Amino acid sequence: MAAMQEKKVARFKVEVELANYGDIAAVERGYLAPDKVRRVKILGVVDSGASRLVLPTAIAKQLGVPVTGKVKVTYANRTSTQRDKVEGVFLELQGRHGIFNAHLEPKRDTALIGALVLEELDFLIDPLKERVFPRDPKMLTCEAE
């Protein structure tokens, strides 16, 4: 029986800006002044071994994003639990942005930025320089068959 190889995971911090997408949409419709959009800059841990976006519960409350359900979360130590899920998180990283769902962790103080977020924003990881960079700086690149 072959020994299991340990998966190499890149982990480093970047600064991201988060906002409530509902607020942004209200500004676009003329219902809210731009300075009333709930925003926060926070350190995010880029983790190639994680899949999605994870936020500290306190940050989600500060942004006012709605809890819309629960998700089952499995941790690296193989334990699992249920956590709240929020929707409508606007995330900006290096001038690229997207709208994401996230699950909440009450004891976190940084965001966790997983592979699906990086893929949606079309970023590649340079683990040696501990940075993310766009595959094409001019535009998003999509793959199709």
Asked whether residue 70 is domain-assigned, the answer is: yes
In this structure, what token pair is assigned to residue 26? 């209200």
When divided into structural domains, the chain yields a total of 1
Full pLDDT tens readout for the chain, 145 residues: 444 455 567 789 999 999 999 999 999 999 999 999 999 999 999 998 889 999 999 999 999 999 999 999 988 899 999 999 999 999 999 999 999 999 999 999 999 999 999 999 999 999 889 899 998 888 888 878 7
Asked whether residue 3 is domain-assigned, the answer is: no
Which runs of consecutive H residues, i.e. helices, occur in 86-126?
115-120
**pTM, entire model:** 0.88
Asked whether residue 141 is domain-assigned, the answer is: no
Q: ∠ at Cα 54 (106, 36), nearest 5°?
A: 85
Asked whether residue 24 is domain-assigned, the answer is: yes
What CATH number has the domain bearing residue 27? 2.40.70.10
pLDDT at 1: 43
Exposed/middle/buried for residue 67 (C-beta within 10 Å: 0-12, 13-18, 19+) = middle
Domain enclosing residue 23, as ranges: 11-130
* C-alpha span between 126 and 131 (Å, rounded): 5
